[in-house]
Structure 1
């Protein structure tokens, strides 16, 4: 299994819930790069075709990897209001999708070296993503090695979107874990960024999301990241071989 997929993408839907949907563009890759579209606004649907009425629901696309059928998947949630880049390495296909939907790319105002690489209009975002109800949380901000990561959290719905710090792809997880801390962050997991959160679901940038007892899975991953580091690294080494 290649770590990063190449060739023609093949859309696979994951993570559908009342507030959005996720997808994989290359389901067979080891990295399991996941993308999501989040709904904001009132969901009033036409009984004739079950499509969202224009203007009723905004769709916010997060760290997208493009694939045939993505536009239809996004349309099942709403009209695109913006595309969001939550990790400096996750520019992915954000600009292409933003241009296609005549929408800006939103980048946290403290991130550097991201906006200039995007061939699309860019809006800077502070502590909240427009009027979506999603708070923007600073997870990692360091220059060496370069890592700038933001998470999104909706207090009312309990939806947490984490692009890189935690994931469910196999190389993230120690044996027995449903959710694991990124291998490079295991020695010092970013606990402070998630303090006080009790998510109903955790959506990740690598792998399918966690919907069952998500708060416990997140707390377990963060609290035991360092203790399980040897087992996680041994598992990753065995998979590499």
Structure 2
């Protein structure tokens, strides 16, 4: 099983469906579980951190007109340019985020705190110079999108956790950034989202991250190293 399957997708698993959006896994069998999303806003449909997959265009068309593609992590260029060019829209990248522009063959639109008129406020998180992350939250409907820092995929959760903090930040979880948010749903860049008692799941992840560090270290270190090496080679 590859960590990240870079070949053209031949299968797709649709996840995270609700009235105003959906997600998908272009390579359901890969260890890294890269998740992509489409979210409806007042200005159209936004495609988030996409990995291209068959039949996705049909689902996007059902949701509405695509107005832009947003990349929320310096390591999530993925197939953003391919999808953007197919729909004739720009790729939106935070002004402070590097690395993405050189990996996307499509027009780039930079922004400060909100991509387009999507209603998503973007919070800057930069744990490393090579890892820059934009956490997007839309208070109007409680949609929270976290590309890498938290997730439900392999290498994140331990025990009964539904949301896990990435191993490198369990000792210092991002309470200042996320602690006051009250999401109705949480979408991740890796793994399926949380749609039931999402705020409680987030609180549990943040409040217990440090005390569950040792079990996470024992069970997740190998997976985290594989994911990190694969991401750095992207």
TM-score (norm 1): 0.87
Question: Which of structures 1 and 2 has the bigger CA Rg?
Answer: 1
Does the aligned pair in 2 maintain the 1:24–1:34 contact within 8 Å? yes
The residue matched to 1:76 in structure 2 has which SS? helix
The residue matched to 2:133 in structure 1 has which SS? strand
Q: Distance in 1 between matches of 2:126 and 2:161?
A: 22
Q: Distance in 1 between matches of 2:177 and 2:7?
A: 36
Return the offset for 1:164.
0.4
Return the offset for 1:132.
1.4
| Superposition CA RMSD, Å | 1.7
Does the aligned pair in 2 maintain the 1:175–1:235 contact within 8 Å? no
Q: Distance in 1 between matches of 2:219 and 2:92?
A: 36
For residues 238 and 134 of structure 1, do their structure 2 counterparts lie closer, same or farther at Cα, with a shift above 3 Å needed? Answer: closer
| Unaligned residue ranges in structure 1 (runs of 5+) | 42-56
Equivalent in the alignment of 1:45: none
Equivalent in the alignment of 2:118: 132
Return the offset for 1:82.
0.5
Return the offset for 1:239.
7.2
Equivalent of 1:158 in 142, 145, 160? 142
Equivalent in the alignment of 2:228: none
For residues 223 and 105 of structure 1, do their structure 2 counterparts lie closer, same or farther at Cα, with a shift above 3 Å needed? Answer: same
Equivalent of 2:185 in 195, 201, 214? 201
| Unaligned residue ranges in structure 2 (runs of 5+) | 225-234
Does the aligned pair in 1 maintain the 2:49–2:77 contact within 8 Å? yes
The residue matched to 2:210 in structure 1 has which SS? coil
Q: Distance in 1 between matches of 2:122 and 2:223?
A: 34
What pairs with 1:149-188 in structure 2 (closer than 5 Å)?
149-188=133-172
Return the offset for 1:238.
7.8
For residues 85 and 238 of structure 1, do their structure 2 counterparts lie closer, same or farther at Cα, with a shift above 3 Å needed? Answer: closer
The residue matched to 1:91 in structure 2 has which SS? coil
- Deviation per CA, 1:139-190: give whole Å up to 9, x if none: 33532xx210001111110000100000001311111111101122223222
Q: Distance in 1 between matches of 2:74 and 2:223?
A: 27
TM-score (norm 2): 0.90
